């Protein structure tokens, strides 16, 4: 599909026809822009998301397949271009749709936009979920508590009844309720059929018109997969498989049973919460006996087999081997930290130190990149996209590096913030900021030592299995005059827990003297700043509906060393998860304009003057 744009010619999906590099000139800012040149020697260019760290935070743009910036980084996030030639980008708190020429197909106006399927995407507004088309038109006449991905022309949705119970139905491509909300749960449609739960002990197979094709009098029935459905005959009982008509094919004997893929299904035989995973065929015959901590089907008749790192604590995780899912034999040893799905004969894998491609026979793919760290590789257009250790990079098909993301930030010359990386253990790594270019070398060394300490760079045993994982990163939150505010984030996940614990601290650093500022430094000596701030925050909780989530009686005021950060016009105070609100809201934050606290600000102090010199 071809279409004319303002700069060159767009070729769907996500390609832009521009002059070859030899036919173009570099723009004034050093970046090549779409369509520069005399229009001869055209070639199709795939666009790829890329990120740079700036003094305004991390900004996203797009590069071409040679690593040249094509759309300048100014978005707060940017996703891959999809098959319809559109990419989801973020500006502030809102999301829109971008065309390959850098123009908006849909201006940022939604709380989020999921990927498109069958020409439709789920978008979020203040009241819930809606369906949009590729022009951004909202097709649904109301919002819903949940809308799934379109499949076979229909999307599962839910809304609540008068008793606050969730009921499920299906939307058509026009956003209308083709099958009304009446079920307790449902699966996606495939080949004109879906499984729905009618009540606690009844499921049904329905067609596009909502009519029943079969009834299953069981408390649990899975999706239809290759003519079979996993089911549970009694509540909390063992699982087996029935056919589409409801006839038993494999008797209930498993504590867990997945859908069939390519004639194979993963099942678990262990009682309680233990793991004894095996692989069966459509008759129930063992292809792999139930001996493993995990099994995942990877496609192309391959599976990853997990062996517990610590059999006494299987929740810590597994070491993985590649196996033949058709016949059962292992193709490698248990030597990998992860193995991903196969696509065109290759699977992304990592041994914890390097990330690379494996072939179907379990060998390293020749002439492909081997990226330091733990993550994934996948083909996007003509390049290999690497998401490794929370950093993005691209390689060509021969493994040559095209572009790599770093968190280096240029400040007022010669000052800069450089990225440091600390990885003492496979389950512990931290990116931390380090100053360079300060005139006072001793002050710079002291700043860098403290930044490493605040970033959780600390002794961690190298060859010991931790009972948790930790990752840390940083970004610039604010920079003006002599003040640099760095946001230092972390995530600690105890293995086996429902979720981890995020952390966030801010370093307020004077880039000339190296002084670190505390909250008290912003206010006049001996002022009652904590009491004043506490009263303002209390009023915001009481009167602003956005803080309705605050737990009753949980707010006890502001402490003298309350977590905080400053921006040009306001002080921001925040609490950690669970302090005054549920985990899901993250870090409850309260903005206090300086105009509200002007009488107690120490405008002659070093802290205030560090970012109010002009």
Domain total in the chain: 2
CATH number at residue 509: 3.30.565.40
Residues 560 and 504 in one domain: no
Residues 494 and 435 in one domain: yes
Task: Taking residues 442-447, report their average pLDDT.
Answer: 98
Residue 182 belongs to some domain of the structure: no
Q: Give the pairing type, strands 294-299 and 69-75.
A: unpaired
Q: Would you place residue 37 in the very low, low, confident or very high pLDDT band (cuts 50, 70, 90)?
A: very low
Per-residue pLDDT at 24: 37
Q: What is the DSSP letter of 364?
A: B
46-103 pLDDT, tens digit each: 999 999 999 999 999 999 999 999 999 999 999 999 999 999 999 999 999 999 999 9
Residues 578 and 528 in one domain: yes
Task: Taking residues 473-500, report their average pLDDT.
Answer: 96
Report residue 435 as tokens. 């100053």
Helix (H) or strand (E) holding 10: strand 9-11
Closest Cα partner for 154 from 138, 184, 174, 134? Answer: 174
Are residues 339 and 382 in contact, defined by beta-carbon separation less than 8 angstroms? no
Q: Give the pairing type, strands 354-359 and 346-350.
A: antiparallel
Residues 467 and 488 in one domain: yes
Per-residue pLDDT at 162: 87
Domain termination residue (choose one: 491, 516, 541):
516
Per-residue pLDDT at 35: 37
- pLDDT tops 50 at residue 39: no
Cβ-based neighbour number of residue 352 at 10 Å: 16
370-418 pLDDT, tens digit each: 999 999 999 999 999 999 999 999 999 999 999 999 889 999 999 999 9
Residue 426 belongs to some domain of the structure: yes
Residues 490 and 528 in one domain: no
Per-residue pLDDT at 45: 65
Residues 499 and 554 in one domain: no
268-278 pLDDT, tens digit each: 999 887 899 99
347-371 pLDDT, tens digit each: 999 999 999 999 999 999 998 999 9
| Gap between the Cα atoms of 183 and 199, Å rounded | 8
- 168 vs 273, which has greater pLDDT? 168
Residue 501 belongs to some domain of the structure: yes
- pLDDT tops 50 at residue 34: no
Residues 530 and 506 in one domain: no
Q: Would you place residue 231 in the very low, low, confident or very high pLDDT band (cuts 50, 70, 90)?
A: very high
| Gap between the Cα atoms of 177 and 86, Å rounded | 27
Per-residue pLDDT at 272: 81
Residues 568 and 501 in one domain: no
Provide the domain limits for residue 466. 409-516
Per-residue pLDDT at 406: 87
Q: Would you place residue 613 in the very low, low, confident or very high pLDDT band (cuts 50, 70, 90)?
A: confident
Helices within 375-511 (DSSP H only): 441-454
Domain termination residue (choose one: 493, 516, 539):
516
- pLDDT tops 80 at residue 13: no
- pLDDT tops 60 at residue 157: yes
CATH number at residue 565: 3.90.640.20
Q: What percent of the chain has pLDDT over 90?
A: 89
Q: Give the pairing type, strands 338-343 and 346-350.
A: antiparallel
> How does the average pLDDT of the chain come out, rounded?
92
Task: Taking residues 461-484, report their average pLDDT.
Answer: 96
Q: What is the 3-state secondary structure (H, E, C) of 79-141?
A: CCCCCCCCEEEEECCEEEEECCCCCEEEEEEECEECCCECCEEEEEECCEEEEECCCCCECCC
| Gap between the Cα atoms of 281 and 238, Å rounded | 18
Cβ-based neighbour number of residue 562 at 10 Å: 18
Residues 511 and 526 in one domain: no
| Gap between the Cα atoms of 267 and 178, Å rounded | 35
Q: What percent of the chain has pLDDT over 70?
A: 93
* Beta bridge partner(s), residue 54: 57
Residues 508 and 532 in one domain: no
Per-residue pLDDT at 14: 54
Are residues 468 and 490 in contact, defined by beta-carbon separation less than 8 angstroms? no
DSSP structure string for 454-476: HTT-----SSS--SEEEEEEEEE
- pLDDT tops 60 at residue 1: no
Q: Count Cβ atoms within 10 A of the Cβ of residue 167 and give its class: 0-12 exposed, 13-18 middle, 19 or more buried.
A: middle
Closest Cα partner for 73 from 86, 87, 84, 57? Answer: 57
């Amino acid at each position: 599909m071809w279409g004319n744009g303002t700069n060159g010619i767009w070729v769907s999906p996500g390609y832009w026809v521009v002059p070859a590099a030899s036919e173009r000139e570099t723009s004034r800012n050093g970046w090549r822009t779409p369509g520069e040149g005399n229009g001869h020697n055209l070639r199709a260019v795939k666009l790829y998301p890329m990120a740079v760290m700036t003094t305004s935070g991390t900004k996203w743009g797009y590069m071409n397949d040679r690593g040249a910036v094509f759309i300048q980084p100014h978005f707060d996030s940017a996703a891959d271009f999809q098959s319809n030639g559109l990419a989801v980008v973020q500006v502030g708190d809102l999301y829109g749709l971008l065309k390959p020429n850098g123009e908006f197909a849909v201006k940022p106006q939604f709380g989020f936009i999921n990927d498109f399927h069958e020409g439709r995407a789920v978008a979020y507004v203040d009241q819930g979920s809606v369906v949009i088309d590729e022009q951004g038109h909202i097709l649904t006449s109301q919002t819903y508590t949940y809308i799934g991905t379109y499949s076979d022309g229909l999307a599962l949705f839910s809304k609540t009844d008068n008793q606050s119970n969730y009921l499920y139905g299906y939307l058509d491509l026009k956003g209308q309720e083709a099958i009304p909300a009446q079920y307790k749960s449902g699966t996606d449609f495939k080949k004109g059929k879906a499984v729905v739960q009618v009540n606690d002990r009844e499921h049904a197979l329905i067609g596009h018109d909502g009519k029943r094709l079969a009834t299953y009098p069981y408390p649990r029935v899975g999706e239809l997969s290759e003519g079979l459905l996993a089911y549970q005959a009694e509540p909390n009982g063992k699982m087996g498989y029935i056919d589409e008509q409801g006839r038993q094919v494999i008797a209930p004997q498993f504590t867990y049973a997945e859908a069939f893929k390519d004639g194979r299904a993963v099942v678990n035989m262990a009682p309680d919460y233990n793991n004894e995973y095996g692989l069966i065929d459509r008759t129930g015959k063992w292809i792999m006996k139930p001996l493993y901590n995990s099994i995942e089907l990877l496609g192309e008749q391959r599976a990853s087999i997990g062996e517990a790192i610590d059999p006494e604590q299987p929740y810590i995780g597994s070491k993985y081997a590649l196996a033949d899912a058709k016949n059962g034999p292992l193709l490698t040893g248990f030597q990998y930290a992860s193995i991903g799905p196969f696509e065109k004969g290759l699977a992304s894998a990592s041994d914890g130190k390097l990330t690379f491609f494996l072939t179907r026979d379990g060998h390293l793919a020749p002439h492909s990149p081997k990226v330091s760290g733990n993550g994934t590789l996948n083909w996007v257009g003509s390049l290999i996209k690497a998401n490794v250790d929370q950093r993005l990079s691209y390689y060509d098909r021969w493994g040559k590096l095209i572009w790599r993301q770093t968190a280096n930030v240029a400040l007022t010359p010669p000052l800069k913030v450089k990225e440091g990386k600390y990885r003492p253990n496979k389950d512990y790594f931290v990116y931390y900021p380090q100053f360079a270019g300060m005139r006072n070398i001793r002050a710079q060394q002291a700043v860098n030592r403290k930044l490493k300490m605040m970033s959780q760079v600390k002794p961690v045993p190298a060859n010991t299995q931790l009972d948790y994982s930790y990752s840390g990163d940083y970004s610039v939150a604010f920079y003006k005059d002599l003040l640099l505010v760095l946001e230092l984030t972390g995530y600690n996940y105890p293995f086996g827990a429902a979720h981890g614990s995020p952390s966030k601290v801010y370093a307020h650093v004077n880039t000339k003297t190296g002084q670190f500022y505390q909250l008290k430094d912003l206010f006049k000596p001996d002022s009652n700043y904590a009491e004043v701030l506490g009263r303002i925050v209390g009023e915001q909780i009481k009167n602003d509906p956005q803080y309705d989530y605050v737990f009753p009686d949980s707010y006890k005021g502001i402490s003298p060393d309350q977590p905080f950060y400053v921006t040009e016009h306001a002080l921001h105070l925040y609490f950690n998860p669970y302090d005054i609100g549920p985990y899901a809201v993250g870090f409850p934050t309260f903005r206090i304009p300086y105009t509200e606290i002007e009488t107690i600000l120490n405008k002659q102090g070093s802290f205030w003057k560090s970012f109010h010199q002009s």
